[in-house]
Structure 1
Amino acid sequence: MVLYVVATPIGNLKDITERAKEVLKNCDVVVCESKERALKILNHIGAAQKRIFYMPAPKEGSNAEKIAEEIKENNLSAVLITSAGTPAISDPGSTLIKKCREKGIKIVPIPGPSAITSALSVSGIQSQRFLFLGFLPKKGKEGFLKKVKEGVEKLPINPAIVIFESPHRIKDTLEKIEKVFGEDTEVFLGREMTKIHEEYLFGRIKDIRDIMIKRERIRGEITMVIHCGKKEGEGEDLGG
């Protein structure tokens, strides 16, 4: 019995890895956040007839115990996938992984596409160290960002800050970032990454915000990287 935690494409299905294909084709059951997305991936690799356990985010807590018990009782080989990217990273999965581990089920990661590292890699922002915040809170966003900024200022180095955001909240989020970090703060914005209409913007937060404000409708999930600048001495060897 084993649970494979499998990273799937963040947009372009051709980005699926050979190992991901292999375990998806050979497993007994697929645990997914979205049936529609799971079937799209399974159809793409020719494994559309797989048994599926549905585990949406709101029901992960109640479903995880049942699914873990099913895997153990029937000695199943299971694959956990999310709608896109790596499970349990701002997506469902951590509760199921914990339950499976408690029951002695082997947990195996199958790495692959990640919106976080994809955005960092093309941002041009120095990212030897970064802070991932996931989706910002819907309420109290400005206060949350102020606390993040205060925390970063206490660190010996300034990490790049990575956040996820939905298209209908991006304008408000950009406003709050500009207010807290300043209009000259450099940011990278990746939208619809790896898809047909992918878009990548880099510049001052004020300029990126101006671009977005002019758009009546924004589509696609967004990953942002905030450049916090450098502290004096940063880039030197910090080791002991």
Structure 2
Amino acid sequence: MVATPLGNLADISQRALDTLRMADAILCEDTRVTTKLLRHYGISNQLIPLHDHNEQDRTPGLLTRLHQGQRLALVSDAGTPIVSDPGYRLVRAAQEEGLAVTSLPGANAAVTALTLSGLPPLPFMFLGFPPRGEARRQNFAALRAVEQAGLAATLIWYESPHRLLETLRTLQQVFGAGRPAAVGRELTKHFEEMVRGTVADLIARFEETAPRGEITLLLGPPARDDTSAQELDTVLKEALKSHSVKDAATLVAGIVSLPKRTVYNRALELAREEKND
């Protein structure tokens, strides 16, 4: 696995270039994108398209080549392979067959955006692309429920520019207008931009100026004075005084509007803590 530049073609290691030259073939998402990189560095090599639509069919043949002793370099269009890009099924299959797999570190949009965002760097959760449509709201609501159960992390997504505003509006509905957030746009490229502010600030900004280019979206953790987790524990502890764990979770889930499974898991933890005490 060879990490490639996000946009600035200088952001690639000498080791990566040597690997691309010496490989028996290069597996890539889009041959047009990878050809641009290779031409820039004077590299000529066989390119094999590997993407979501053909990875499963191509994997057996690629494994055969690896068993024959060939060296294959896997790249994505930009950044570190298999991070929201194709290749995971091939890598997993190669590992299961005892074939040697290694990763050459390099550019990654999520980490680059995190370091520029001004948001707490640890812990963070990278969540890929948000679901589309109604599933997006359900996904965000589940994350908010986990926050109410105690999670405090910077959340990171990739998003397309034409869906960014809709996603920001959904974040506002679920997490609140005042949550700190950031949008990284065209990272490492000539028009690189990092927009910081509250969710409401970002909505106002991109309503005025439509976003363009590759987007990385970050949402800061809840404020320290966000009492959602403490309130959940308080209500659960009271319910556990007179109810079983299952019944307490059912009762409290209805009160706090959280998924029953989330509340049940927290009720189990509190019950164990009480027993240990």
* TM-score, normalised with respect to structure 2: 0.78
Q: Of 201, 209, 214, which residue of structure 1 is paired with 2:208?
A: 214
- 1:236 is matched with which residue? none
Q: Deviations over 1:107-140 (max 9, x none)?
A: 0110000101101111111112101111001131
Q: Where do residues 1-240 of structure 1 align in structure 2 (5 Å cutoff)?
A: 5-47=1-43, 49-73=44-68, 75-139=69-133, 140-155=135-150, 157-215=151-209, 217-231=210-224
Q: Deviations over 1:145-168 (max 9, x none)?
A: 01011112223x511001110011
Secondary structure of 1:170's aligned partner: helix
Output the CA distance in 2 between the equivalents of 1:231 and 1:131.
18
Output the CA distance in 1 between the equivalents of 2:222 and 2:118.
13
* 1:65 alignment partner AA: P
Q: Deviations over 1:8-40 (max 9, x none)?
A: 111111111111111111111101111011111
Greater RCO (Cα-Cα under 8 Å, separation 6 or more): 1
Secondary structure of 1:131's aligned partner: strand
Output the CA distance in 1 between the equivalents of 2:93 and 2:223.
42
Tell whether the 8 Å contact from 1:53 to 1:67 is kept in structure 2 after alignment: no
**Aligned-residue offset at 1:230:** 4.1
Q: Deviations over 1:24-73 (max 9, x none)?
A: 111111011110111111112211x2011111222212222222222223
Q: State which drifts further: 164-173 or 220-229.
A: 220-229
Unpaired stretches in structure 2, ≥5 consecutive residues:
226-277
Secondary structure of 1:161's aligned partner: strand
**Aligned-residue offset at 1:96:** 0.7
Q: State which drifts further: 172-181 or 62-71.
A: 62-71
Q: CA RMSD in A?
A: 1.4
Larger radius of gyration: 2
Tell whether the 8 Å contact from 2:51 to 2:87 is kept in structure 1 after alignment: no
* 1:94 alignment partner AA: Y
Output the CA distance in 2 between the equivalents of 1:115 and 1:141.
21
* TM-score, normalised with respect to structure 1: 0.89
Tell whether the 8 Å contact from 2:125 to 2:156 is kept in structure 1 after alignment: yes
Tell whether the 8 Å contact from 1:37 to 1:83 is kept in structure 2 after alignment: yes
Tell whether the 8 Å contact from 1:189 to 1:225 is kept in structure 2 after alignment: yes
Secondary structure of 1:57's aligned partner: coil
- Structure whose residues are more often strand by fraction: 1
Q: Structure 1 stretches (4+) deviating beyond 3 angstroms?
A: none
Q: State which drifts further: 100-109 or 131-140.
A: 100-109
**Aligned-residue offset at 1:213:** 1.3
* 1:226 alignment partner AA: L
- 1:238 is matched with which residue? none
Output the CA distance in 2 between the equivalents of 1:30 and 1:7.
12
Tell whether the 8 Å contact from 1:142 to 1:176 is kept in structure 2 after alignment: yes
**Aligned-residue offset at 1:77:** 1.1
Output the CA distance in 2 between the equivalents of 1:57 and 1:194.
26
- Among all aligned residue pairs of Structure 1 and Structure 2, give the percentage whose two residues are the same amino acid: 31
**Aligned-residue offset at 1:202:** 0.2
